[in-house]
Chain A
Amino acid sequence: MLKNIVFVALIFIHVLFAQSSPPPCFFNSLAVSISIAISIIVLLLLVGHLLNFQQLKFIALKEVESLAVLIFFLIFVLFSYNFISQKLSWIINFDPAGWGSRFSGDSIAEDVLKKMAAKGSNITIQQKAIVLVEENDRLLEILLKKAISFSESTAIEASKSSYITFYSTGFGTSTCSLYSIFRGPINLLFNALALGSFAIYFTKSILVVFGQSIICLLFPIGLFLAFFNLTRKAGIALISLCLSFYFIFPFSIALFTDYYNANYSKQDSILNQKTDLENVFPNLDLYLRNPNQNIPPNVNKNRWGVSIESYRCDPNYYNDSTIPDNVSSIMDILLSNLNKVLNFVIVKSIFIMLLSLSLTISFSSALAHALGLEIDLSILARLT
């Protein structure tokens, strides 16, 4: 009894502090659900009373108890979902000023960042998580473009061959095919980027979908189902999943991403600064894409006086001695940077997403158990 009173008192205190009211869209399903549920209970009681059927009355009274728990739970969530979101958001205090430059030109993003930096801002955890994931997306996009450019350039180099005939007799050499050894690492890079991008888009989708629809669509439906004995389990499963994905998932994403940013941001430096990797990409890129740009200083000239940048492969049969040097130096640069890229992709994009998803599903499983669901929701973790 005392426990229940404390529970109710806590909720009321919480509601008092939260000070936000649920949107009007919610009341519709609430009114429908409560009125139908109470009607059923009354009917059971009435029939039980008239027929003197104690079991029916017992069932009805038990239903009243379940409904009371649900209603208190409902009040708790409804009046505090915004409050909780903001509180969760305050826990994570990353410094958005540090990476504002990455969003330069995006006025909306800058605005959001500015608000985040402002003291006492009302940014919710969902918005914070989306900004963090969006930043990952942008970094990944940069990587992807570089990788595509690198891949195309090296493939073109590898396809070069030369031939010579003399009086209908001749031979051909394809010394540049040595460049095709980049294909393996590049495929690895692409697959990693695909997974990373996949994880980021999935995370964003979940954040957006649950952020938008939780209060006005999914939660009311879950609630409606949970009000009736027959569909209570289904409703509880839905409610648990919704709340977990609304609160825990963005919180977890933001927390881990912020932690990563705070402690391992040096790993990201490849994306911010000119590095060896970036030096290779645009130079090969230059060859294909932008002929009017000044040729870098390290050029040599072929037999016909055409300038060739040092990383380009000269396919002429007599000039194959420089190729291994080029290839090995590019490979060195590629592999050393690939390591960092994979670290970024796998840890920051994929691992954090998987970790958050596992946490969320575990939480929803626990919540569902607390609310009385026997099905083990953690089987959903297979989705990860």
Chain B
Amino acid sequence: MEKFFLLLLTLISVIFAQVPPPPLSPPIFYLYATAQPPDINNLEEGNLNSVNLTSTFYYYLFFSCPADQNNVNPCVFNFSSIYFKAGSYFFTICNQTVRPNLCFHVVEDGETKLFLAKDIFLYNSDILDENGKSINKLDLLTLGYGVNISKGQGWQFFPKNEKRYSITFYKPMLTYTLSNFFCKVNGTIKDIDDYNTFGIPFNSFYFSIALPNGSSCSLSQKTHSLEPYFCSQDFPQDLLNYLRSRYSFSYANIPPNSFSLDFIFSFPLKREYSPYKIRFNVAPYYTENERAFTIESVTLLCSTNLVNYTLAGEGKVYRDNIEILATASEPSRNLQPSSFSTDFSLNILVIVNPNTSNQKNLFLNWTCLNSACTQTDFQTNIASNTILDKYESFSDKEIRTLIKLNTSSICPNGEKDNILIKAKGGPSSAGFEDKEIELYSGPCSGKIKFLAEIYKDKQKDGTYLDFELDGSEQNKEQFIIIKIKNLQNTNKVNINLNSKLFDGTLKYSSFSPTVASLPAIFHFNTFYDLKSLTVFLTPVGDDQTIFREFNFILEKPVLAIDKVKIAGSPLSVEQSQDLEKNLRLYLGERNEVDIDFVFLVPYKIKGYDFQTSLVPLYGGKCELSSVSKNADFASIKVRFKEKGCILKVRGVAGTAEDKSLSDWVSVKIYSKGVFVAQSPDSFCSSNRILSSQYFKFFLIAFSSLIVIIAIAFMLGSFTSNPRLLEWSKREIIETIILSLLIASIGFFLTLSCEKYFDISSIMNLFGLPQTKTISIHTPILDFAQQTMYNIIERVHSTIIILRRDIAYFHILGSAYTYSSSIGELILQSFISYFSGININNAAGAYNFIGVYNFLLNLNNFYLFNILVHYFLLFFLSSASGLIVFLLPIGLFFRCLPFVKNVGSALIAIGIGFYVLFPMAYVVYGLFLNSTAISVSLHCLVFSSDELCKSFNIYTQKQTSQSINVADVNKFISDKYLYMAELVEVGSFTEQTFPYPDAIFNYEENKKTLQPVYPVDKKSFSPNLSIYFGLSALNFLLAFFIPTIILVVVLGFVRDLASILGGDIDVSKLLYLA
């Protein structure tokens, strides 16, 4: 029975051990296919934007094998490492058992082989004969995995042995909508003569890209760059620049008589370019020496991400009827099995005269359960003959309905009536909410009314285009084409279509011709200047185009540079050379640039770390203004009003000036160096006493223990003392356990600084998502130390600001004194009579000192706490820390009967703090570095931050994908919090501080009696809530969670001590917190 039980347990263990943990990577889907067999002659295109794997579909795979000299080599296809990955699931088996599976068969010579696919990509290859003529274009579309086509390896081609492979994808249970393509093109060329080495390939070929709006661009490769060869004007400049910036090439392993070149570029495709159709052509190009070479292969590799389910539709108002097309399709969110229900609902509501008491409506409702759709509700108070035609189609992941309504019955009064059409629907599964879109809103008929306006919204930091199209002449379909010219600065283009109409119906309408009903309002939110914009209105069937082009901007654009990167070393007193590079402000066509940034520049002189001090800027004609506060930090505002202005910069070391002759303005900055705290050395970089000498100590203690036990045993035997014998026997067993334990722990003890067991191991163990903000190959102890140090820096930064502000308030409260001498000089009567009023217009600053002191005390306490933990880490957890002492001594004490508990406690404390304490901080650090957490914490305090606009605190989810990990990183490491020091609350003017004019010598008095205004005459108040929030955050980071970590570690210590035979009350140690 016992054996049976043992066998059963072993079996269970084996089964469990073999279950691979599902990966936690974000959903990535690599598939580029259509559900139809491909048209071989026209393979370069496909609707890559959306692939609906709703049924069994086919993939044809054609390989051709060009002949080699002997005509004997067969085609060799190496599929061994192919598998298929969708979302979070691996589809590793071809049985539809537990999870939806996707696999394919390859039929080779009548024998069916089963393959699993991974990283499927389009493969495009032209095989050319000796004359450069294409002999076979069959092998345009293949499926493969990372296979380079080259002679002698992997794939070989011989035309006489041509084989065809068909791959069948069995019905998957998923529907995906794809977006965000990342493409990479790989290619090889060959037949380069021996003496043509580097020079030839670099100007030897070009390739072209065609976009769905008809624009295309060809690029040719120059020596070290990719240059546009021929590009149509409407090809997006930003895409071109992006391609050029991301282009790279490599060459290696050049075999004889050939040359291999990889040209790789990748670009994220944004919504504007969708539906995405892109074509890559690579053609041979004769060199100066008239030596041809041949392109052997081109590979296009694309990937994409999944997006949520869609509710789409459009309403079109024709002369006689209205067409409504609405679609709800299944989401693929999280790819959880529960979300694969086929439960859908779709409602359509048509309201005639929505704003009047004469309102009529028509309500249609479909519910689809397991692909069977029923019309569950139908309510109308419109004439029964309204619906002319109705067509519904559905699949297991989609419901689609097309309705035609009779306009004569619902719009009897013609253009006076309004129609409002809405659609609502989505999956009925748990976790999804209905989306609602407005398909059409407007009159039954009308004339085209065209209003447009481009304006700049400073607060939202974007250029907006509003235009309104009101009705159409003939109630026909309208085409709206919007072209944006002169988009500059290609790093970020964020164009959101935010309109009632386009929100649901037309997702990708900015660069592609789209069909729209009227009226429509577009909001273009870009980070760039919209310099010109063209809007075409083209009625269907009519060649006449209503055209209007805007080349003006109503308000001059203001480029807001939120962050100026400062490169190089700033000047010290001794070294005053190269700060010109530090500030480069691109003015472009603009006349005015606002810059607001925080200035703190670290640099090194002779190995010592410095940072800049007060760096005020003063302007000449440019009317620069500065807000600078004290020696550590300065907030500067610069305004350039014209080109070529003279900039004066005054620093501690002197004054410099520069004249900007071009668009680029160089600013020289002088600064004085002050010491900045140096980062601590890594704990791991200390002498590795533990790894080298740990076993030595252990052996000494262990030998003494054995000696003691042996002596006790001998004494016991000699004196026949049973107690001694009993004791020594018990000790022998415990010693064996202990030695095993310590020998195994000794292995772990050396791990904390090892490269082969870094935090990536821990992340893999728990399946944590990778984040870009941390280097995953950091040793454990280093990462724990870095986590603590980041928190220390953060709390310390808060303290620095508080200290600085307290001093600032003292100075502010006393320095800016309004002295209004309301003199009445009656010089005519020779009587000298003066009276006046003094006002300290910043006296309120004093009042804040109290609360700042309060916050300072709190933060000092938190800093103290986290420092205690930091020193604990150093003292107990570092390689040369206390464990070197604790373990051998504990071991030794453990051997002695009276101090056994002490020994166990020492060992437990040593191991607990050495192993679990840094590990807990590693987890804490990973936790802080996870994007969701850091964004949440950041946005709690800085809710008005740009980063947080897409963050929803209530559902704790990002409302868009736009949050950048690099931005999030600022939360941990950057001095980001300095941005929110003061808020402008008003201004001091002569109206707010009126003073009566002097009767005599008015002008002079005015000059001398001008109150000492703060900078810009503005009144600032401290942004107290930010400081409160920061302090609360510091409490959480530096006090609350570290204390919890301590509790967890002490739990471990308690456990270990009891196992070792000592019972200690470690809860007293909690008072460390």
Contact = CB atoms under 8 A, between A and B. Distances in A.
A205 B839 contact: no
A217 B930 contact: yes
Interface string A357-373: 00000000000000001
Interface string A160-184: 1111111110100000000000010
B941 interface: yes
B1029 A21 contact: no
A270 interface: no
B994 A156 contact: no
Contact of A166 (B832, B923, B955, B994): B832
A144 B1021 CA distance: 11
B238 to A, nearest CB: 30
B598 to A, nearest CB: 23
Contacts of B880: none
Contacts of B269: none
A29 B765 CA distance: 7
A131 interface: yes
Given A24-B336, A198-B1031, A292 B847 contact: no
B1029 A112 contact: no
B13 A35 contact: yes
A31 B767 CA distance: 11
A39 B843 contact: no
B686 interface: no
B1 interface: no
Interface stretch (A2-10, A185-193, A258-266): A185-193
Contacts, number: 301
Interface stretch (B469-477, B752-760, B848-856): B848-856
Contacts of A51: none
Given A160-B837, A292-B991, A377-B1047, A208 B1028 contact: no
B412 interface: no
A331 interface: no
A375 B1050 CA distance: 8
Given A160-B838, A212-B933, A28 B21 contact: yes
State which size class the interface on A falls in.
35 or more
Contacts of A152: 843-844, 847, 1021
A241 B242 CA distance: 49
Interface in B745-776: 765-768
A27 B851 contact: no
A85 interface: no
Contact of B1036 (A45, A112, A206): A206
Contacts of B768: 217
B1052 interface: yes
B701 interface: no
Interface stretch (A282-290, A322-330, A336-344): A282-290
B833 interface: yes
Given A197-B1025, A375-B1067, A42 B9 contact: yes
Interface stretch (B51-59, B305-313, B578-586, B1053-1061): B1053-1061
A238 B1047 CA distance: 9
Contacts of B1051: 233-234, 236-237, 373, 375
Contacts of B338: 20-21
Interface string A26-69: 01110110110011011001100100000000000000000000
B10 interface: yes
A218 B858 CA distance: 28
A304 to B, nearest CB: 4
Contact of B992 (A19, A140, A200, A287): A287
B1036 to A, nearest CB: 5
A66 to B, nearest CB: 13
Interface residues of B, number: 103
Interface string B849-872: 011001100100000000000000
Contacts of B844: 148, 151-156
B1039 A383 contact: yes
Interface in A80-110: 108-109
B1048 A237 contact: yes
Interface in B1-49: 2-3, 6, 9-10, 12-13, 16-17, 19-24
Given A166-B832, A233-B1052, A234-B1055, A212 B956 contact: yes
Given A27-B22, A163-B835, A231-B916, A205 B2 contact: no
A156 B996 contact: no
B335 to A, nearest CB: 8
Interface string B380-400: 000000000000000000000
Nearest to A211: B956
B23 to A, nearest CB: 8
Nearest to B989: A291
A127 B991 contact: no
A160 B845 CA distance: 15
Interface-centre pick from B24, B933, B988, B1031 (highest chain A CB count, 10 A): B24
A204 B940 contact: yes
Interface of A is mostly: helix
B923 A24 contact: no
B448 interface: no
Contact of B1047 (A211, A237, A287): A237
A28 B767 contact: yes
A205 B959 CA distance: 19
B250 to A, nearest CB: 36
A34 B1024 contact: no
Interface-centre pick from B766, B841, B952, B1054 (highest chain A CB count, 10 A): B766
Contacts of A187: 847, 850-851
Given A230-B1055, A292-B991, A383-B1039, A23 B336 contact: yes
A287 to B, nearest CB: 7
Interface in B1021-1065: 1021-1022, 1024-1025, 1028-1029, 1031-1033, 1035-1036, 1039-1040, 1043-1044, 1047-1052, 1054-1056, 1059
Contact of A156 (B16, B840, B1028): B840
Nearest to A377: B1047
A209 B937 contact: yes
Interface string B951-962: 011111001000
A351 interface: no
A126 to B, nearest CB: 8
A190 B21 contact: no
A49 B847 contact: no
A151 B956 CA distance: 36
A111 B6 CA distance: 57
A166 B940 contact: no
B956 A288 contact: no
Nearest to A111: B954
Contact of A213 (B6, B335, B834, B927): B927
B1066 interface: yes
A221 B1029 CA distance: 29
B989 A28 contact: no
Contact of A127 (B833, B954, B994): B954
B985 A289 contact: yes
A380 B1033 CA distance: 18
Contact of A290 (B837, B846, B930, B986): B986
Given A112-B955, A156-B839, A24 B334 contact: yes
Interface in B945-989: 952-956, 959, 985-986, 988-989
B1019 interface: yes
- The 9 closest A-B CB pairs, nearest first, are A152-B844, A28-B767, A201-B1032, A159-B840, A197-B1028, A233-B1051, A291-B991, A289-B986, A190-B851
23 contacts: A41-B13, A42-B13, A45-B9, A149-B985, A152-B843, A155-B847, A162-B835, A164-B833, A166-B833, A166-B834, A187-B847, A187-B850, A194-B855, A197-B1029, A198-B858, A199-B1032, A204-B953, A209-B933, A212-B932, A224-B765, A234-B916, A288-B1019, A379-B1067
Given A134-B954, A144-B1024, A225-B1048, 15 more contacts: A21-B337, A21-B338, A35-B17, A42-B6, A144-B1025, A155-B844, A155-B847, A168-B832, A201-B941, A202-B1035, A213-B932, A221-B766, A234-B1049, A238-B1044, A375-B1051
